[in-house]
Protein backbone atom coordinates (compact mmCIF):
# COMPACT_ATOMS: atom_id res chain seq x y z
CA UNK A 1 0.00 0.00 0.00
CA UNK A 2 2.84 2.40 0.83
CA UNK A 3 4.44 1.72 -2.55
CA UNK A 4 1.17 2.44 -4.37
CA UNK A 5 0.70 5.70 -2.50
CA UNK A 6 4.24 6.81 -3.32
CA UNK A 7 3.73 6.00 -7.00
CA UNK A 8 0.51 7.96 -7.03
CA UNK A 9 2.20 10.96 -5.39
CA UNK A 10 5.03 10.87 -7.97
CA UNK A 11 2.46 10.72 -10.79
CA UNK A 12 0.51 13.65 -9.35
CA UNK A 13 3.69 15.70 -8.88
CA UNK A 14 4.61 15.15 -12.51
CA UNK A 15 1.16 16.15 -13.72
CA UNK A 16 1.11 19.29 -11.61
CA UNK A 17 4.49 20.10 -13.09
CA UNK A 18 3.03 19.87 -16.60
CA UNK A 19 0.33 22.36 -15.60
CA UNK A 20 2.80 24.75 -13.97
CA UNK A 21 5.06 24.70 -17.03
CA UNK A 22 2.13 25.49 -19.31
CA UNK A 23 1.18 28.55 -17.27
CA UNK A 24 2.94 30.00 -14.24
CA UNK A 25 -0.22 31.82 -13.12
CA UNK A 26 -2.64 30.06 -10.83
CA UNK A 27 -5.57 29.07 -13.03
CA UNK A 28 -9.06 30.45 -12.69
CA UNK A 29 -11.78 27.86 -12.03
CA UNK A 30 -15.27 27.92 -13.53
CA UNK A 31 -17.71 25.18 -12.61
CA UNK A 32 -20.97 25.30 -14.55
CA UNK A 33 -23.67 23.04 -13.15
CA UNK A 34 -26.96 22.30 -14.87
CA UNK A 35 -29.91 21.12 -12.78
CA UNK A 36 -31.46 17.75 -13.76
CA UNK A 37 -29.94 17.64 -17.27
CA UNK A 38 -30.04 14.17 -18.81
CA UNK A 39 -27.05 12.21 -20.07
CA UNK A 40 -27.98 12.39 -23.76
CA UNK A 41 -29.48 15.90 -23.95
CA UNK A 42 -26.45 17.82 -25.24
CA UNK A 43 -25.51 17.75 -28.90
CA UNK A 44 -22.06 16.47 -28.00
CA UNK A 45 -23.68 13.56 -26.13
CA UNK A 46 -26.07 12.61 -28.94
CA UNK A 47 -28.98 14.95 -28.32
CA UNK A 48 -30.98 16.92 -30.88
CA UNK A 49 -31.11 20.04 -28.66
CA UNK A 50 -28.94 22.87 -30.00
CA UNK A 51 -26.02 23.34 -27.58
CA UNK A 52 -23.25 24.81 -29.78
CA UNK A 53 -21.27 26.47 -26.98
CA UNK A 54 -21.05 23.37 -24.83
CA UNK A 55 -20.31 21.29 -27.92
CA UNK A 56 -17.42 23.68 -28.68
CA UNK A 57 -16.08 23.18 -25.14
CA UNK A 58 -16.23 19.43 -25.72
CA UNK A 59 -14.34 19.76 -29.01
CA UNK A 60 -11.53 21.60 -27.19
CA UNK A 61 -11.53 19.41 -24.10
CA UNK A 62 -12.77 16.08 -22.78
CA UNK A 63 -16.16 14.42 -22.71
CA UNK A 64 -16.33 12.11 -19.70
CA UNK A 65 -18.52 9.04 -20.15
CA UNK A 66 -18.22 7.67 -16.62
CA UNK A 67 -18.61 10.69 -14.35
CA UNK A 68 -20.85 10.16 -11.33
CA UNK A 69 -22.84 12.33 -8.92
CA UNK A 70 -25.33 11.62 -6.14
CA UNK A 71 -28.85 10.58 -7.21
CA UNK A 72 -30.25 14.05 -6.32
CA UNK A 73 -29.16 17.66 -6.18
CA UNK A 74 -28.27 18.75 -2.62
CA UNK A 75 -26.20 15.63 -1.80
CA UNK A 76 -24.25 16.22 -5.02
CA UNK A 77 -23.64 19.87 -4.14
CA UNK A 78 -22.45 18.87 -0.66
CA UNK A 79 -19.88 16.50 -2.18
CA UNK A 80 -18.77 19.09 -4.73
CA UNK A 81 -18.17 21.64 -1.99
CA UNK A 82 -16.48 19.25 0.46
CA UNK A 83 -14.62 16.62 -1.56
CA UNK A 84 -16.10 13.96 0.70
CA UNK A 85 -19.23 11.82 0.98
CA UNK A 86 -22.59 13.53 1.46
CA UNK A 87 -23.24 11.48 4.64
CA UNK A 88 -20.18 13.16 6.15
CA UNK A 89 -20.89 16.66 4.79
CA UNK A 90 -24.46 16.95 6.15
CA UNK A 91 -26.64 15.81 3.26
CA UNK A 92 -27.07 12.12 4.01
CA UNK A 93 -30.60 12.92 2.92
CA UNK A 94 -32.20 15.97 1.35
CA UNK A 95 -33.31 18.42 4.06
CA UNK A 96 -36.90 18.38 2.80
CA UNK A 97 -37.17 14.59 3.08
CA UNK A 98 -35.26 13.72 6.28
CA UNK A 99 -36.91 10.72 7.97
CA UNK A 100 -37.52 10.27 11.72
CA UNK A 101 -34.62 7.83 12.13
CA UNK A 102 -32.25 10.39 10.59
CA UNK A 103 -33.26 13.44 12.66
CA UNK A 104 -30.42 14.91 14.78
CA UNK A 105 -27.97 12.32 13.48
CA UNK A 106 -24.48 13.47 12.38
CA UNK A 107 -24.28 13.76 8.63
CA UNK A 108 -28.04 14.33 8.27
CA UNK A 109 -28.20 18.00 9.27
CA UNK A 110 -29.74 18.99 5.91
CA UNK A 111 -27.10 21.65 5.27
CA UNK A 112 -23.36 21.81 4.56
CA UNK A 113 -22.02 21.23 8.06
CA UNK A 114 -18.91 22.59 9.80
CA UNK A 115 -17.22 19.19 9.92
CA UNK A 116 -15.99 19.79 6.38
CA UNK A 117 -13.92 22.59 4.87
CA UNK A 118 -15.70 24.01 1.83
CA UNK A 119 -13.91 24.29 -1.50
CA UNK A 120 -14.60 28.03 -1.52
CA UNK A 121 -13.12 28.49 1.97
CA UNK A 122 -9.90 26.69 1.06
CA UNK A 123 -9.50 28.57 -2.22
CA UNK A 124 -10.32 31.86 -0.49
CA UNK A 125 -7.56 31.23 2.04
CA UNK A 126 -5.30 30.35 -0.89
CA UNK A 127 -5.70 33.79 -2.47
CA UNK A 128 -8.66 33.27 -4.77
CA UNK A 129 -11.64 35.55 -5.34
CA UNK A 130 -14.71 33.34 -4.92
CA UNK A 131 -18.18 33.74 -6.42
CA UNK A 132 -21.34 31.69 -6.72
CA UNK A 133 -24.66 32.41 -8.39
CA UNK A 134 -27.79 30.31 -8.84
CA UNK A 135 -28.93 27.33 -6.84
CA UNK A 136 -27.42 26.79 -3.38
CA UNK A 137 -29.64 24.24 -1.58
CA UNK A 138 -27.06 23.76 1.20
CA UNK A 139 -28.67 25.83 3.96
CA UNK A 140 -31.52 28.35 4.26
CA UNK A 141 -30.34 30.94 6.76
CA UNK A 142 -27.79 33.73 6.41
CA UNK A 143 -25.50 31.77 8.77
CA UNK A 144 -25.60 28.86 6.31
CA UNK A 145 -25.33 30.96 3.16
CA UNK A 146 -22.40 31.05 0.71
CA UNK A 147 -21.09 34.19 2.43
CA UNK A 148 -20.53 32.10 5.55
CA UNK A 149 -18.83 29.29 3.60
CA UNK A 150 -16.07 31.11 1.76
CA UNK A 151 -17.70 33.03 -1.08
CA UNK A 152 -16.76 36.70 -1.47
CA UNK A 153 -19.84 37.41 -3.59
CA UNK A 154 -23.00 35.40 -4.07
CA UNK A 155 -26.54 35.64 -5.39
CA UNK A 156 -28.35 32.41 -4.73
CA UNK A 157 -31.68 30.64 -4.65
CA UNK A 158 -31.97 29.02 -1.22
CA UNK A 159 -34.37 26.20 -2.13
CA UNK A 160 -34.11 23.31 -4.56
CA UNK A 161 -36.09 25.03 -7.31
CA UNK A 162 -38.36 27.93 -8.21
CA UNK A 163 -40.09 29.74 -11.03
CA UNK A 164 -37.57 30.93 -13.59
CA UNK A 165 -39.47 34.21 -13.92
CA UNK A 166 -39.81 37.18 -11.56
CA UNK A 167 -42.95 35.96 -9.71
CA UNK A 168 -40.73 34.14 -7.16
CA UNK A 169 -43.04 31.14 -6.86
CA UNK A 170 -41.28 28.14 -5.32
CA UNK A 171 -41.89 24.46 -6.10
CA UNK A 172 -43.70 23.04 -3.05
CA UNK A 173 -47.00 24.11 -1.53
CA UNK A 174 -45.71 24.08 2.06
CA UNK A 175 -42.86 26.44 1.13
CA UNK A 176 -44.38 28.43 -1.76
CA UNK A 177 -42.17 31.55 -1.83
CA UNK A 178 -38.72 31.39 -3.37
CA UNK A 179 -35.97 32.85 -1.17
CA UNK A 180 -32.97 34.59 -2.73
CA UNK A 181 -29.91 35.92 -0.92
CA UNK A 182 -27.20 38.26 -2.13
CA UNK A 183 -24.06 38.10 0.01
CA UNK A 184 -26.14 36.47 2.72
CA UNK A 185 -28.93 39.06 2.85
CA UNK A 186 -32.42 38.20 1.62
CA UNK A 187 -33.40 40.04 -1.56
CA UNK A 188 -36.14 40.07 -4.19
CA UNK A 189 -35.38 39.38 -7.82
CA UNK A 190 -35.79 42.36 -10.19
CA UNK A 191 -38.62 42.81 -12.68
CA UNK A 192 -37.90 40.99 -15.91
CA UNK A 193 -35.83 38.32 -14.14
CA UNK A 194 -35.22 35.09 -16.04
CA UNK A 195 -32.99 32.69 -14.16
CA UNK A 196 -30.34 31.65 -16.70
CA UNK A 197 -29.86 35.18 -18.02
CA UNK A 198 -29.76 36.79 -14.58
CA UNK A 199 -27.31 34.33 -13.03
CA UNK A 200 -24.99 34.77 -16.00
CA UNK A 201 -25.19 38.56 -15.72
CA UNK A 202 -24.36 38.38 -12.01
CA UNK A 203 -21.35 36.13 -12.39
CA UNK A 204 -19.87 38.34 -15.11
CA UNK A 205 -20.57 41.40 -12.94
CA UNK A 206 -18.74 39.87 -9.97
CA UNK A 207 -15.71 38.78 -11.99
CA UNK A 208 -15.48 42.12 -13.79
CA UNK A 209 -15.61 44.11 -10.54
CA UNK A 210 -12.48 42.33 -9.26
CA UNK A 211 -10.70 41.81 -12.56
CA UNK A 212 -7.88 44.26 -11.89
CA UNK A 213 -7.10 42.81 -8.46
CA UNK A 214 -4.68 40.35 -10.02
CA UNK A 215 -6.20 37.48 -8.05
CA UNK A 216 -7.36 34.28 -9.77
CA UNK A 217 -11.06 33.49 -9.38
CA UNK A 218 -13.26 30.52 -8.57
CA UNK A 219 -16.76 30.85 -10.01
CA UNK A 220 -19.60 28.38 -9.37
CA UNK A 221 -22.41 29.02 -11.85
CA UNK A 222 -25.32 26.85 -10.71
CA UNK A 223 -28.16 27.18 -13.20
CA UNK A 224 -31.63 26.10 -12.14
CA UNK A 225 -32.35 25.02 -15.72
CA UNK A 226 -33.74 22.62 -16.70
CA UNK A 227 -35.29 21.82 -13.28
CA UNK A 228 -39.08 22.06 -13.19
CA UNK A 229 -41.12 24.19 -13.42
CA UNK A 230 -40.16 24.16 -17.09
CA UNK A 231 -39.99 27.76 -18.36
CA UNK A 232 -38.43 29.55 -21.31
CA UNK A 233 -38.75 32.95 -23.01
CA UNK A 234 -41.20 32.95 -25.93
CA UNK A 235 -38.56 33.31 -28.64
CA UNK A 236 -36.92 30.10 -27.42
CA UNK A 237 -40.20 28.22 -27.11
CA UNK A 238 -40.98 28.81 -30.77
CA UNK A 239 -37.75 27.18 -31.89
CA UNK A 240 -38.81 23.63 -31.01
CA UNK A 241 -42.44 23.66 -32.10
CA UNK A 242 -43.25 20.30 -33.69
CA UNK A 243 -39.82 18.77 -33.02
CA UNK A 244 -41.13 16.10 -30.63
CA UNK A 245 -44.37 15.10 -32.37
CA UNK A 246 -42.89 11.72 -33.30
CA UNK A 247 -42.83 10.67 -29.65
CA UNK A 248 -40.56 9.01 -27.14
CA UNK A 249 -39.19 6.01 -29.00
CA UNK A 250 -38.39 7.88 -32.22
CA UNK A 251 -36.32 10.46 -30.33
CA UNK A 252 -34.63 7.77 -28.22
CA UNK A 253 -33.54 5.86 -31.32
CA UNK A 254 -32.30 9.06 -33.00
CA UNK A 255 -30.16 9.79 -29.97
CA UNK A 256 -28.86 6.26 -29.69
CA UNK A 257 -27.82 6.26 -33.35
CA UNK A 258 -25.89 9.50 -32.92
CA UNK A 259 -24.24 8.21 -29.73
CA UNK A 260 -23.02 5.18 -31.66
CA UNK A 261 -21.66 7.37 -34.45
CA UNK A 262 -19.81 9.49 -31.89
CA UNK A 263 -18.31 6.49 -30.13
CA UNK A 264 -20.11 7.24 -26.86
CA UNK A 265 -21.69 3.77 -26.78
CA UNK A 266 -20.93 0.46 -28.48
CA UNK A 267 -22.30 -0.24 -31.95
CA UNK A 268 -24.57 -2.96 -30.57
CA UNK A 269 -25.81 -0.93 -27.57
CA UNK A 270 -29.52 -0.97 -26.76
CA UNK A 271 -31.32 1.35 -24.38
CA UNK A 272 -32.52 -0.19 -21.11
CA UNK A 273 -36.08 1.05 -20.51
CA UNK A 274 -37.34 -0.84 -17.43
CA UNK A 275 -40.73 0.91 -17.26
CA UNK A 276 -41.63 -0.03 -20.83
CA UNK A 277 -44.92 -1.87 -20.97
CA UNK A 278 -46.20 -0.21 -17.78
CA UNK A 279 -46.02 3.49 -18.61
CA UNK A 280 -47.77 4.34 -21.87
CA UNK A 281 -45.95 4.37 -25.18
CA UNK A 282 -46.73 7.17 -27.64
CA UNK A 283 -49.51 5.34 -29.45
CA UNK A 284 -51.39 4.69 -26.21
CA UNK A 285 -51.82 8.44 -25.60
CA UNK A 286 -54.84 10.44 -26.67
CA UNK A 287 -54.35 13.28 -29.15
CA UNK A 288 -54.60 15.83 -26.31
CA UNK A 289 -52.05 13.91 -24.24
CA UNK A 290 -49.66 13.78 -27.19
CA UNK A 291 -49.92 17.54 -27.62
CA UNK A 292 -49.16 18.15 -23.95
CA UNK A 293 -46.30 15.66 -23.86
CA UNK A 294 -44.73 17.09 -27.02
CA UNK A 295 -45.11 20.62 -25.70
CA UNK A 296 -43.46 19.69 -22.40
CA UNK A 297 -40.40 18.39 -24.23
CA UNK A 298 -40.35 21.48 -26.46
CA UNK A 299 -40.15 23.66 -23.35
CA UNK A 300 -37.45 21.48 -21.83
CA UNK A 301 -35.37 21.68 -25.02
CA UNK A 302 -35.85 25.44 -25.14
CA UNK A 303 -34.55 25.73 -21.55
CA UNK A 304 -31.41 23.75 -22.35
CA UNK A 305 -30.81 25.72 -25.57
CA UNK A 306 -31.29 28.99 -23.69
CA UNK A 307 -28.88 27.89 -20.94
CA UNK A 308 -26.26 27.04 -23.57
CA UNK A 309 -26.71 30.52 -25.08
CA UNK A 310 -25.90 32.13 -21.73
CA UNK A 311 -22.95 29.80 -21.16
CA UNK A 312 -21.68 31.13 -24.48
CA UNK A 313 -21.82 34.65 -23.04
CA UNK A 314 -19.53 33.65 -20.15
CA UNK A 315 -17.11 32.00 -22.55
CA UNK A 316 -17.10 35.10 -24.77
CA UNK A 317 -16.39 37.26 -21.72
CA UNK A 318 -13.43 35.09 -20.72
CA UNK A 319 -12.04 35.31 -24.24
CA UNK A 320 -12.50 39.09 -24.40
CA UNK A 321 -10.66 39.56 -21.11
CA UNK A 322 -7.83 37.19 -22.05
CA UNK A 323 -8.67 34.72 -19.27
CA UNK A 324 -10.11 31.86 -21.34
CA UNK A 325 -6.92 29.84 -21.67
CA UNK A 326 -6.08 30.36 -18.00
CA UNK A 327 -9.46 29.04 -16.85
CA UNK A 328 -10.17 25.43 -15.97
CA UNK A 329 -13.80 24.90 -17.01
CA UNK A 330 -15.93 21.99 -15.81
CA UNK A 331 -19.49 21.60 -17.03
CA UNK A 332 -21.74 18.92 -15.55
CA UNK A 333 -25.25 18.05 -14.45
CA UNK A 334 -26.00 17.63 -10.75
CA UNK A 335 -27.75 14.27 -11.26
CA UNK A 336 -29.66 12.37 -13.92
CA UNK A 337 -32.76 13.54 -15.75
CA UNK A 338 -35.80 14.01 -13.51
CA UNK A 339 -38.72 11.69 -14.11
CA UNK A 340 -40.22 12.32 -10.67
CA UNK A 341 -43.43 14.32 -10.69
CA UNK A 342 -43.77 17.46 -8.55
CA UNK A 343 -47.26 16.19 -7.77
CA UNK A 344 -45.56 13.85 -5.30
CA UNK A 345 -44.40 16.76 -3.11
CA UNK A 346 -46.61 17.52 -0.08
CA UNK A 347 -49.83 19.31 -1.05
CA UNK A 348 -48.77 19.93 -4.64
CA UNK A 349 -51.54 17.98 -6.34
CA UNK A 350 -54.12 20.53 -5.16
CA UNK A 351 -51.87 23.61 -5.16
CA UNK A 352 -50.67 23.14 -8.71
CA UNK A 353 -54.23 22.97 -10.03
CA UNK A 354 -55.36 26.05 -8.11
CA UNK A 355 -52.35 28.38 -8.33
CA UNK A 356 -51.11 27.91 -11.90
CA UNK A 357 -52.36 28.17 -15.48
CA UNK A 358 -51.18 24.97 -17.15
CA UNK A 359 -53.32 25.27 -20.25
CA UNK A 360 -51.66 24.08 -23.44
CA UNK A 361 -51.25 27.70 -24.59
CA UNK A 362 -49.53 28.75 -21.35
CA UNK A 363 -47.23 25.77 -20.84
CA UNK A 364 -43.68 27.03 -20.35
CA UNK A 365 -44.75 30.62 -19.79
CA UNK A 366 -44.95 32.70 -16.63
CA UNK A 367 -47.63 31.40 -14.27
CA UNK A 368 -47.34 27.78 -15.42
CA UNK A 369 -45.83 24.86 -13.52
CA UNK A 370 -45.10 21.77 -15.61
CA UNK A 371 -42.57 18.96 -15.75
CA UNK A 372 -41.80 16.72 -18.72
CA UNK A 373 -42.64 13.37 -17.18
CA UNK A 374 -41.06 9.98 -16.74
CA UNK A 375 -41.09 8.93 -20.38
CA UNK A 376 -39.17 11.97 -21.63
CA UNK A 377 -36.80 11.68 -18.66
CA UNK A 378 -36.08 8.13 -19.72
CA UNK A 379 -35.30 9.46 -23.21
CA UNK A 380 -32.94 12.03 -21.65
CA UNK A 381 -31.22 9.19 -19.78
CA UNK A 382 -30.58 7.19 -22.98
CA UNK A 383 -29.23 4.50 -22.89
CA UNK A 384 -29.31 4.08 -19.11
CA UNK A 385 -32.21 2.83 -16.94
CA UNK A 386 -34.35 5.10 -14.75
CA UNK A 387 -33.44 8.64 -13.68
CA UNK A 388 -32.92 11.08 -10.79
CA UNK A 389 -33.40 9.72 -7.28
CA UNK A 390 -32.31 6.19 -8.18
CA UNK A 391 -28.88 4.57 -7.90
CA UNK A 392 -28.98 3.07 -11.39
CA UNK A 393 -26.69 4.68 -13.99
CA UNK A 394 -29.62 6.80 -15.20
CA UNK A 395 -29.68 8.53 -11.83
CA UNK A 396 -25.97 8.95 -11.13
CA UNK A 397 -24.06 8.99 -14.45
CA UNK A 398 -24.08 12.47 -15.97
CA UNK A 399 -22.59 14.43 -18.87
CA UNK A 400 -19.35 16.15 -17.85
CA UNK A 401 -17.01 18.24 -19.98
CA UNK A 402 -13.56 19.49 -18.95
CA UNK A 403 -11.87 22.27 -20.94
CA UNK A 404 -8.30 23.35 -20.14
CA UNK A 405 -5.23 23.93 -22.35
CA UNK A 406 -3.36 21.09 -20.63
CA UNK A 407 -5.79 18.47 -22.01
CA UNK A 408 -3.47 16.26 -24.06
CA UNK A 409 -6.10 15.04 -26.54
CA UNK A 410 -8.62 17.84 -27.21
CA UNK A 411 -11.97 16.59 -28.45
CA UNK A 412 -11.48 13.11 -27.05
CA UNK A 413 -13.83 10.87 -25.10
CA UNK A 414 -12.59 9.62 -21.73
CA UNK A 415 -14.06 6.50 -20.12
CA UNK A 416 -12.26 6.60 -16.76
CA UNK A 417 -14.43 6.43 -13.63
CA UNK A 418 -14.65 9.79 -11.86
CA UNK A 419 -16.90 11.25 -9.16
CA UNK A 420 -18.15 14.62 -7.98
CA UNK A 421 -15.99 14.24 -4.83
CA UNK A 422 -12.95 14.40 -7.14
CA UNK A 423 -13.56 18.03 -8.16
CA UNK A 424 -12.19 19.62 -4.98
CA UNK A 425 -8.86 17.71 -4.94
CA UNK A 426 -8.48 18.41 -8.67
CA UNK A 427 -8.84 22.16 -8.25
CA UNK A 428 -6.54 22.24 -5.24
CA UNK A 429 -3.91 20.32 -7.22
CA UNK A 430 -4.12 22.75 -10.12
CA UNK A 431 -3.90 25.72 -7.74
CA UNK A 432 -0.97 24.23 -5.81
CA UNK A 433 -2.94 24.38 -2.53
CA UNK A 434 -2.72 21.62 0.05
CA UNK A 435 -5.97 20.16 1.47
CA UNK A 436 -6.66 21.00 5.11
CA UNK A 437 -4.56 18.72 7.37
CA UNK A 438 -7.37 17.69 9.75
CA UNK A 439 -8.03 21.16 11.16
CA UNK A 440 -9.21 24.26 9.33
CA UNK A 441 -10.12 27.73 10.62
CA UNK A 442 -9.97 26.46 14.18
CA UNK A 443 -12.17 23.40 13.78
CA UNK A 444 -11.67 19.71 13.03
CA UNK A 445 -12.63 18.76 9.46
CA UNK A 446 -13.02 15.47 7.64
CA UNK A 447 -10.35 14.42 5.14
CA UNK A 448 -11.04 14.48 1.41
CA UNK A 449 -12.34 11.21 0.00
CA UNK A 450 -12.10 12.24 -3.64
CA UNK A 451 -8.94 11.96 -5.75
CA UNK A 452 -7.50 14.35 -8.29
CA UNK A 453 -8.68 14.02 -11.89
CA UNK A 454 -5.46 15.44 -13.31
CA UNK A 455 -4.59 12.05 -14.85
CA UNK A 456 -7.64 12.43 -17.10
CA UNK A 457 -6.17 15.57 -18.65
CA UNK A 458 -3.13 13.57 -19.75
CA UNK A 459 -5.11 10.50 -20.88
CA UNK A 460 -3.86 8.45 -17.93
CA UNK A 461 -5.75 5.98 -15.75
CA UNK A 462 -7.52 6.89 -12.54
CA UNK A 463 -6.87 4.66 -9.49
CA UNK A 464 -9.34 1.85 -8.87
CA UNK A 465 -11.37 2.39 -5.71
CA UNK A 466 -14.73 1.50 -4.19
CA UNK A 467 -17.31 4.32 -4.45
CA UNK A 468 -20.64 3.99 -2.63
CA UNK A 469 -24.06 5.62 -2.91
CA UNK A 470 -27.08 5.66 -0.62
CA UNK A 471 -30.20 7.81 -0.80
CA UNK A 472 -33.81 7.03 0.19
CA UNK A 473 -32.57 3.55 1.18
CA UNK A 474 -31.41 2.87 -2.37
CA UNK A 475 -27.85 1.62 -2.46
CA UNK A 476 -25.03 1.04 -4.91
CA UNK A 477 -21.28 0.54 -4.95
CA UNK A 478 -18.88 0.56 -7.87
CA UNK A 479 -15.32 -0.75 -8.01
CA UNK A 480 -13.62 -0.78 -11.37
CA UNK A 481 -16.00 -2.25 -13.92
CA UNK A 482 -18.17 -3.94 -11.29
CA UNK A 483 -21.25 -2.50 -9.60
CA UNK A 484 -23.70 -3.78 -7.00
CA UNK A 485 -27.18 -2.27 -6.75
CA UNK A 486 -30.03 -2.61 -4.26
CA UNK A 487 -33.38 -0.83 -4.66
CA UNK A 488 -36.81 -1.45 -3.18
CA UNK A 489 -40.04 -1.88 -5.14
CA UNK A 490 -41.14 -0.84 -7.68
CA UNK A 491 -37.63 -0.12 -8.99
CA UNK A 492 -36.08 -3.31 -7.60
CA UNK A 493 -36.83 -6.23 -5.30
CA UNK A 494 -34.56 -5.17 -2.40
CA UNK A 495 -32.02 -7.90 -3.30
CA UNK A 496 -28.44 -7.07 -4.25
CA UNK A 497 -27.80 -7.15 -7.98
CA UNK A 498 -24.40 -7.36 -9.67
CA UNK A 499 -23.38 -5.90 -13.03
CA UNK A 500 -20.21 -5.80 -15.11
CA UNK A 501 -20.47 -2.31 -16.58
CA UNK A 502 -17.64 -2.89 -19.04
CA UNK A 503 -19.74 -5.52 -20.83
CA UNK A 504 -23.15 -4.28 -19.72
CA UNK A 505 -23.13 -0.48 -19.20
CA UNK A 506 -26.95 -0.29 -19.10
CA UNK A 507 -27.35 -2.76 -16.20
CA UNK A 508 -29.42 -5.23 -18.21
CA UNK A 509 -27.97 -8.56 -16.97
CA UNK A 510 -27.82 -9.34 -13.26
CA UNK A 511 -24.79 -11.55 -12.50
CA UNK A 512 -25.39 -11.98 -8.76
CA UNK A 513 -26.23 -15.70 -9.08
CA UNK A 514 -23.41 -16.58 -11.49
CA UNK A 515 -20.66 -14.49 -9.79
CA UNK A 516 -21.11 -15.09 -6.03
CA UNK A 517 -17.43 -14.45 -5.27
CA UNK A 518 -17.46 -11.00 -6.86
CA UNK A 519 -20.76 -10.17 -5.15
CA UNK A 520 -19.29 -11.15 -1.77
CA UNK A 521 -16.20 -9.00 -2.41
CA UNK A 522 -18.24 -5.90 -3.20
CA UNK A 523 -20.60 -6.48 -0.28
CA UNK A 524 -17.53 -6.36 1.96
CA UNK A 525 -16.62 -3.02 0.35
CA UNK A 526 -20.20 -1.88 0.97
CA UNK A 527 -19.97 -2.67 4.69
CA UNK A 528 -16.77 -0.60 4.88
CA UNK A 529 -18.48 2.30 3.07
CA UNK A 530 -21.41 2.23 5.51
CA UNK A 531 -19.15 2.23 8.55
CA UNK A 532 -16.84 4.94 7.19
CA UNK A 533 -19.68 7.33 6.38
CA UNK A 534 -22.29 6.62 9.11
CA UNK A 535 -24.92 5.50 6.59
CA UNK A 536 -28.12 4.80 8.55
CA UNK A 537 -30.84 2.29 7.67
CA UNK A 538 -34.55 2.63 8.32
CA UNK A 539 -38.02 2.93 6.81
CA UNK A 540 -38.80 5.71 4.33
CA UNK A 541 -42.30 7.16 4.32
CA UNK A 542 -42.41 9.64 1.44
CA UNK A 543 -44.37 9.76 -1.79
CA UNK A 544 -41.95 11.82 -3.88
CA UNK A 545 -39.66 9.51 -5.82
CA UNK A 546 -41.48 6.36 -4.73
CA UNK A 547 -44.09 6.10 -7.47
CA UNK A 548 -43.90 7.03 -11.12
CA UNK A 549 -47.12 7.94 -12.91
CA UNK A 550 -47.99 9.37 -16.30
CA UNK A 551 -51.65 10.25 -16.81
CA UNK A 552 -53.63 7.22 -15.59
CA UNK A 553 -50.68 4.81 -15.86
CA UNK A 554 -48.52 4.15 -12.80
CA UNK A 555 -45.31 2.21 -12.19
CA UNK A 556 -45.68 1.40 -8.51
Give per-residue pLDDT as tens, 261-303. Answer: 999 999 999 999 999 999 999 999 999 999 999 999 999 999 9
Best CA proximity match to 230, nearest among 332, 376, 94: 376
Is pLDDT above 80 for 483? yes
Active-site annotation, residues: 73, 137
Q: Give percent of the chain with pLDDT exceeding 70.
A: 96
In whole angstroms, give the CA distance from residue 285 to residue 488. 29
Predicted pLDDT of residue 544: 86
Is pLDDT above 60 for 438? yes
Q: Cα torsion for 18, 21, 23, 26, to the nearest 10°?
A: 70
Q: What is the mean pLDDT of residues 239-268?
A: 98
Predicted pLDDT of residue 543: 87
- The overall pTM is greater than 0.75: yes
Predicted pLDDT of residue 16: 41
Best CA proximity match to 271, nearest among 355, 178, 371, 375: 375
In whole angstroms, give the CA distance from residue 336 to residue 39. 7
Q: What is the mean pLDDT of residues 232-255?
A: 97
Best CA proximity match to 293, nearest among 389, 360, 225, 380: 360
Predicted pLDDT of residue 415: 97
Predicted pLDDT of residue 364: 98
Is pLDDT above 50 for 478? yes
Helix (H, G, I), strand (E, B) or coil at 266: coil
Give per-residue pLDDT as tens, 169-199. Answer: 999 999 999 999 999 999 999 999 999 999 9
Instruction: Give 25's pLDDT tier (boundaries 50, 70, 90).
Output: confident
Domains of the chain: 24-460 (3.40.720.10)
Tell me if 374 sits within 8 A of 551, measured CB to CB: no
Predicted pLDDT of residue 545: 87
Q: Return the CA Rg of the chain.
A: 22
Tell me if 117 sits within 8 A of 84, measured CB to CB: no
Instruction: Give 17's pLDDT tier (boundaries 50, 70, 90).
Output: very low
Is pLDDT above 80 for 166? yes
Instruction: Give 332's pLDDT tier (boundaries 50, 70, 90).
Output: very high
Predicted pLDDT of residue 23: 47
Predicted pLDDT of residue 4: 31
Predicted pLDDT of residue 12: 41
Predicted pLDDT of residue 341: 95
Give per-residue pLDDT as tens, 100-152. Answer: 999 999 999 999 999 999 999 999 999 999 999 999 999 999 999 999 999 99
Is pLDDT above 60 for 237? yes
Best CA proximity match to 333, nearest among 40, 116, 27: 40
Predicted pLDDT of residue 3: 28
User: Rounded mean pLDDT of the chain?
Assistant: 95
Query: Range with the lowest mean pLDDT among 17-21, 36-40, 44-48?
Result: 17-21
Amino acid sequence: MKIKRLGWAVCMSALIGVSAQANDKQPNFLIIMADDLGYSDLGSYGGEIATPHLDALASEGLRLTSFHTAPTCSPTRAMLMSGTDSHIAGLGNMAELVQPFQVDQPGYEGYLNDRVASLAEVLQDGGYSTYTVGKWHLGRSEELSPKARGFDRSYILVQGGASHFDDQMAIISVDPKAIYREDGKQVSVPDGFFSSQFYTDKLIEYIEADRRSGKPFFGLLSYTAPHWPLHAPDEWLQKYEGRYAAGYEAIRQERLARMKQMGLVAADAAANVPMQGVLPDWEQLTDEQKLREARSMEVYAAMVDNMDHHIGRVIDYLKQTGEYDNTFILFLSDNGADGNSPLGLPGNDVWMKEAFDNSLENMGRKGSYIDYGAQWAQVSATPFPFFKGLTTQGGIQVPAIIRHPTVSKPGSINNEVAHIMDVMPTLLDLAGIQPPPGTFRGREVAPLQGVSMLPLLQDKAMPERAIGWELFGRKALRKGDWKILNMSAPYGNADWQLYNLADDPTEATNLAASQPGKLKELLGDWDEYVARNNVLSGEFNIRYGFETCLFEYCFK
